[in-house]
Structure 1
């Protein structure tokens, strides 16, 4: 799942560092190759270490939720739908790794639909992240194994994520396609020409309509995420 979907699962949790922890694995992948952030061992919680434990709980929650999501009927159905629509579009700018694009687009569309259905969700997400202590995040990343200088760069990357607030751009097709293009450039160089963007917009419309109907079932109180915290 993408950033906002992870937040939506626990959007009533009052701990901003838990919210930050739930996005660290995704942020690590965007920071650089090889940063696959997993939960770490921490000694028993004390008042001085409480925020580190909140971060760690968020990281653990992220991976558990992803495991449930990627084995769900919702994911299987809509991943195949997005992938088949991408193949049918015969996009010249996506000659390979269509499965990767389908996976990314599916998760981006979930975030977009959550913003549409819950207008204040993204505001609340960024507000929670802005209440975190970046020195605590830096300390956590050092405990995870990052050198100190690299951990400071990572917290700068975190701060940039919080100030750029690019998730809002998912609300427009232009913003969504820009984000998708940037993600694809991680595995293939190049840009989406206008002709492909038009075809991608048609793909987005078809997949989003089907997904919107099923999305409440994915996050239902008695759905796959019940009692999973």
Structure 2
């Protein structure tokens, strides 16, 4: 799931540390795709302070949400259908339709949460701004991140860009989707490619994602980490 969908499961959290924790695995991956961390190896150090515990709990809530989501019938079916729908649009580009289908579904869910006012994007950014940065820095150092300056440079950019607000417009999704794909493949899409992708996603959301609330109920019902 993408940032706003993860925030959905922490939308009532009172601690910003918990919210930042639930976004942190993806924030780190966006800052550097080679980052790999295992906080569970450092529980004794992380359980020494309530703020560190909150970040830790948010992190593993994120892990559990993704595990449930990616193994759900909802994800498997919609990922398959989107792959088939997007394959002819992407056939002249190096992008795998299964990859684009996966990330398209996740951004569509974020869009639908905004459209139906089920998650507050501004509140998400407030948590990112209000978190105790010294505690966040300490958490990162404990799990093995030596250059925290690089991460916080990205973190501050992420807050200033506020690009999740743009997901309110479904037709704006094609640009970030192609940009994400460029992290894997070298290509240059055309304006017609962006239009074709936008048209396909708009049609799919209207015709095939009327059941989108089901996946949030499904994941919520299966969560074991409180």
> How far apart, CA to CA, are the structure 1 residues paired with 2:214 and 2:121?
21
The residue correspondences of 1:110-189 to structure 2 (distance < 5 A) are 110-118=109-117, 121-147=120-146, 150-189=147-186
> How far apart, CA to CA, are the structure 2 residues paired with 1:137 and 1:87?
41
> How far apart, CA to CA, are the structure 1 residues paired with 2:163 and 2:173?
10
Q: How has the CA–CA distance of structure 1 residues 17 and 66 changed in structure 2, closer, same or farther, with 3 Å as cutoff?
A: same
Post-superposition Cα deviations, 1:124-179, rounded to whole Å, max 9, x if no partner, equal: 111122110222212111111111xx112212211221121111112224531221
Partner of 2:221: 226
Q: CA deviation at 1:219?
A: 1.7
Q: CA deviation at 1:103?
A: 0.9
**Number of residues of Structure 1 aligned to a counterpart in Structure 2:** 222
Partner of 2:43: 42
Contact 1:81 1:207 in 2 (8 A): no
Q: How has the CA–CA distance of structure 1 residues 102 and 36 changed in structure 2, closer, same or farther, with 3 Å as cutoff?
A: farther
> How far apart, CA to CA, are the structure 2 residues paired with 1:211 and 1:27?
30
> How far apart, CA to CA, are the structure 1 residues paired with 2:165 and 2:38?
27
Q: CA deviation at 1:119?
A: 6.5
| 5+ residue gaps, structure 1 | none
The answer to whether residue 196 in structure 2 is matched with residue 199 in structure 1 is yes
Partner of 1:77: 77
Q: CA deviation at 1:91?
A: 4.4
The residue correspondences of 1:3-22 to structure 2 (distance < 5 A) are 3-22=3-22
Q: How has the CA–CA distance of structure 1 residues 90 and 59 changed in structure 2, closer, same or farther, with 3 Å as cutoff?
A: closer
| 5+ residue gaps, structure 2 | none
Contact 1:126 1:162 in 2 (8 A): yes
The residue correspondences of 1:88-103 to structure 2 (distance < 5 A) are 88-92=88-92, 94-103=93-102
> How far apart, CA to CA, are the structure 2 residues paired with 1:131 and 1:214?
34
Q: CA deviation at 1:211?
A: 4.7
